[in-house]
Structure 1
């Protein structure tokens, strides 16, 4: 681990050195997206397809070299981009993508991951339908406060311990992914990465709370009711499960109490929320450039303070708490490397989308607009959602946010239902597959490590299709059909 940290530090130093050398020309104006060929989107498509396919067909190769693969796709864009438009244009694209979007994104995600990873819930509950439903409901509420990653990492271990004497508990983990790792994170920019990207692009902090509260309540209530009915059937009515519970030795017997280690991290989580709120409410109007990229003072203060809180959590959290959570850096390291490549390769795609009908993706715009050029909210919901099911939901959100115009002030007012459809599609439908949202695979892996026989990639799709698709069809009709 120390060698990896040293290598990462050397890589970062090299990047900073190169950027400093070229900083004098990095402020070159961004290219006009209407002049770009759709071929510039191939590296973005390549990295997303790599994320979707390689873990399934070449697992060992992917897990050992995913960082190199992401870097190769970034280079596949930047090198020809530099030859076609000049080194300064390529460097402007790189610096703008990293400094204005990637760094704030990964700093917040790392802070939530680290701080939540220092909270360890000890003890064991009995995995009855009432207890299981209550834990899923709690995780759903926490997801919008501490992020889907934080809430999933906090509660998946207690949920698995509570049900480790039940043979039929796969459904518990599947609904946990649906609710805690996805739909529950729809009420704030802290909840899910797509919404934080919207916040970085000018969407107000509480906008999502106001406009996604009813869709989120409908989806999550429907899932909790279905879960309770299914869990009750398996727990009370299925004879095999009842007999197995009676004969099965519980590896973690129920305790008389639950206690929490690392409670100081709740204070740090509250400070994280305060910092994100501060950056959205405090507008001093001070801006400076770092290697040619514009940085607003409030965002710089937020990110530096978040890094400080991350370090403070590592310093003050008892070692036993992180050991109890089996805390390690592998998940956040994977996200950091992959998203660096994603944010670089998506840059020309965003330029072309912002060009609208003059850009290379004019046909895509026609699919989500009517003959008069007005957005079709239901199409935005499903197009964003289906791509979020098999690609990562954060860059997918960014693509459709820009396709809808990319102006936060307009989208929050006259385009509010369109922005809500994009946001809901990205967050809700990240649950449709294991690769739709980062916590999905982490939860699956942890459940398998505890002996739960999780469904295969395609079997999980059947679960999602049977349970989620009907709920999403109702969601479309109720909230995004355009009917008044």
Structure 2
């Protein structure tokens, strides 16, 4: 068998057409592939589930995971229209390449528990948090006119960087990008303002809490304390944010003067700065409170799809759903229109991450096998001669893969490679987890595809008339500015 050294055949599922009357509608027909993939999850798991043994799995099990990541990275650039119309089908295809062998080669209890762990304990909480933050942030509007002087721009970047750890990088980017663009719409050269915005607000600023960036929330779901990253990444984040803000102020001042601008004077048409959507700020507090309570409360467990789910976590997820509906009900339509609010970004994330969380299951099992698995060479890369973790290697390998793939699954890969035990990683191997977290969050800024908000900001800026650089043009900026800073960061904190 190509997928396993020790297969455990149990049940083969016959496939065949499922014809529907035309009256049922095209929507149901389109849903059939997704329903077919979910059917195995409903199969009763009578036997005691055994954990997937990663030492028995061969490299072909990793192909679907690599395939979906490469699809996300390359297809939007190489086949944009095809990707936009078929991304859900592409994600389902790669997921099927894991689901079908799992239920064919392993007993149903083991396969169901593996899928249940990924969906119930990780994917559902992950996507519900993103949904709640996305909806709440979409109802917060910064109105008014600002003049994009170097001081004002630097202040907006600083505010956005601070906001990112509490509303998420996506939320902060969507709240702050339009006021920043309005402030600079009369400047001849303003692409650098958006580039630094991506560096700071869409990436580095989101490093202090699990709310800030998806990789950190995945760590929280794995057992990392809520304020662990606040304590362990604070100095690194402060260093990068401070240096980048100073660099930006100097660069923006030079360009501002070269383009013939002077200190702006207020005009009668200026609208005073004000914040709309105050109730959504309260709802943001509810989200934070629910997460903190779920981490501290012990209300027992309930068994779902072969895994034990904490009741406190289920209640947290219900709060996320409630917050989403309340935000939609209390936010004036004009506020969402001012933010050009659309469900498309979160729908795209939901579809793609469903595929990612399924395809990563065998990869995590193989990584958990360590030296006994097929990823033993990767283990060697992040280990020193004496077998101890190489902190700098964890930072750079996590970071460089995060730049070109997606930083959330990359974080999970190296989290598992570091041992996968949150207690051990938080204390005995705290520098390893710090390096993994920093690499995933910080280096997502190196490309447009490193973190979800990057391309969203790029798209909004281009539609607003900003002459943004292309994929490699942006990389010229990021490599020139960020890589020396990351090298200095490594020397100061990880050597």
Identify whether the pair has TM-score above 0.5, normalized to the shorter chain.
Answer: yes
* CA gap 1:187/1:314 in 2 versus in 1, 3 angstroms: same
Find the partner of 1:133 among 154, 157, 173.
154
Shift of 1:123: 1.2
**Distance across 1 between alignment mates of 2:289 and 2:30:** 30
String of CA shifts for 1:35-71, please: whole Å, max 9, x gaps. Answer: 1111100000000011111111101000111111001
2:294 corresponding residue in structure 1: 279
Find the partner of 1:113 among 134, 141, 152.
134
Find the partner of 2:179 among 151, 158, 164.
158
Find the partner of 1:242 among 260, 267, 273.
260
2:351 corresponding residue in structure 1: 337
1:70 corresponding residue in structure 2: 91
Shift of 1:260: 2.3
Where in structure 2 are the equivalents of 1:34-113 lying within 5 Å?
34-113=55-134
**Distance across 2 between alignment mates of 1:115 and 1:477:** 39
**1:173 has 2:187 as partner:** no
1:301 corresponding residue in structure 2: 315
String of CA shifts for 1:384-409, please: whole Å, max 9, x gaps. Answer: 00000000000000000000000010
**Distance across 2 between alignment mates of 1:176 and 1:57:** 26
* CA gap 1:321/1:476 in 2 versus in 1, 3 angstroms: same
2:236 corresponding residue in structure 1: 215
Shift of 1:16: 6.3
**Distance across 1 between alignment mates of 2:32 and 2:275:** 38
Is the contact made by 1:167 and 1:244 (CA closer than 8 Å) also made in structure 2?
Answer: no
Shift of 1:81: 2.8
**Distance across 2 between alignment mates of 1:302 and 1:428:** 28
**Distance across 1 between alignment mates of 2:237 and 2:489:** 9
* CA gap 1:5/1:442 in 2 versus in 1, 3 angstroms: farther
**Distance across 2 between alignment mates of 1:471 and 1:441:** 23
**Distance across 2 between alignment mates of 1:178 and 1:69:** 30
String of CA shifts for 1:180-225, please: whole Å, max 9, x gaps. Answer: 0000000000100000000000100111000000000011111111
1:387 corresponding residue in structure 2: 401
String of CA shifts for 1:205-259, please: whole Å, max 9, x gaps. Answer: 11100000000001111111110000000112x1xx227999xxx9x99624112
Where in structure 2 are the equivalents of 1:254-269 lying within 5 Å?
255-269=270-284
Is the contact made by 2:45 and 2:108 (CA closer than 8 Å) also made in structure 1?
Answer: no
1:374 corresponding residue in structure 2: 388
Shift of 1:102: 0.5
Is the contact made by 2:37 and 2:96 (CA closer than 8 Å) also made in structure 1?
Answer: no
**Distance across 2 between alignment mates of 1:197 and 1:244:** 46
How many residues are treated as equivalent by the alignment? 470
**Distance across 2 between alignment mates of 1:274 and 1:402:** 28
| Structure 2 residues without counterparts, runs of 5 or longer | 1-24
Aligned partner of residue 346 in structure 1, secondary structure: helix
Aligned partner of residue 260 in structure 2, secondary structure: helix
Aligned partner of residue 383 in structure 1, secondary structure: helix
Aligned partner of residue 446 in structure 1, secondary structure: helix
Aligned partner of residue 242 in structure 1, secondary structure: coil
